[in-house]
Amino acid sequence: MRGLAIVGLGYGVVSLADATVKWVMPEIGPAAALIWRGLIGALLVFLLARGRGLIPVNRRLLAVRSLLHCGVSITWYYCWAAGVSLADSYAVASASPLLMTLLAIPLLGERVGWRRWTSTMVGFGGVLFMLQPGGELWRIESLILLVATAVMALTRIWTRILTRTDGPYAIAFWLLLAHVPVGLLGLPFPFLWPAAGGPPPLLPSLLGVAALVAFGLANAVAQMLFARGFALAPIQAIAPFEYTPLLWGIGLGFLIWGEVPAWTTLGGAAVVIGAGLYNVHRERVRRAAERRAGAG
């Protein structure tokens, strides 16, 4: 229960951070957002850890996961800068638990029965419903987000594996620090610049700096919460919390930008969430049966 509470808090914190960076994105652009996130977040983790516990054990997996996560981050930032709403991006990301169910088979050795296979396919039908031609999400950015969601599901599984060898400070610190060089590599590309055109400013406005500092701090806290929560709770118990950002996104998007998701987005997301929750239920039933068989 403690692990689930930590993960739930982490999703709330990261949703607020996402809303903050989306708000400041027109001023700085995706590449600069990545740099600011890495600098402030890594510094906070370093200070909280007092420089201890940051030496990685599983260095190869930690490095690959961190770089992939940077790719996911800059994809999200690019799509937000291109006009995708917070709720719409979270609706596409709701497919992540379904993908985690599939990836847990080869990576964690979990078994999936026909019921979960069926519900997973139904869930992907919900994704296709959201992305139907003529709908609000019928745009190239949605396809890009879907690919990023698949990569994000993989990094979630790898987080679970990494917690067996590395602590939350090391996992969070190196992930955030990797954002700095990746963001610097993105600076020469105009499509990662601010909406007004031209390279991002060296120092944004005072309000922009305040937003970026809050964004970096929130991301650092969220990554540490995820690392700790994933170590305490099993994947199948955590999966339902993957859907809570959609609720955050709907509320924050409406309050800040007046965004209201289309009915096709909400309908498809409801199918995806229903399928994901059914998968969690079936996993609990299977584990309960295994415990009874073991006790017998």
The pLDDT tens digits for 224-258 are 888 788 777 776 677 677 788 888 999 999 999 99
Pair 32, 140: CB distance under 8 Å: no
Residue that has been written with the tokens 């940077």 in this structure: 70
Instruction: Give the pLDDT score at 226.
Output: 82
Would you state the torsion angle of the CA atoms of residues 82, 85, 86, 88, taken in this order, to the nearest 10 degrees?
-110
CA atoms of 140 and 137, how far apart (whole Å): 9
CA atoms of 80 and 28, how far apart (whole Å): 12
202-223 pLDDT, tens digit per residue, is 788 999 999 999 988 888 888 7
Instruction: Give the pLDDT score at 236.
Output: 64
CA atoms of 165 and 136, how far apart (whole Å): 43
- pTM as predicted: 0.85
Per-residue pLDDT for 65 more than 90? yes
Contacts of 247 (CB under 8 A, 6+ apart): none
For the record, the structure tokens of 140 come out as: 């190239």
CA atoms of 201 and 138, how far apart (whole Å): 33
Helix, strand, coil percentages in the chain from 3-state DSSP, rounded to 5: 80, 0, 20
Q: How confident is the model at residue 23 (pLDDT cuts 50, 70, 90)?
A: very high
79-124 pLDDT, tens digit per residue, is 999 989 999 999 999 888 788 878 877 777 777 777 877 888 888 8
CA atoms of 150 and 285, how far apart (whole Å): 26
Q: Residue 192 carries which DSSP code?
A: G
> Between vectors from CA 151 to CA 146 and to CA 154, what angle results, nearest 5°?
130
Instruction: Give the pLDDT score at 127.
Output: 85
Phi/psi of residue 179, each to 5°? -65, -25
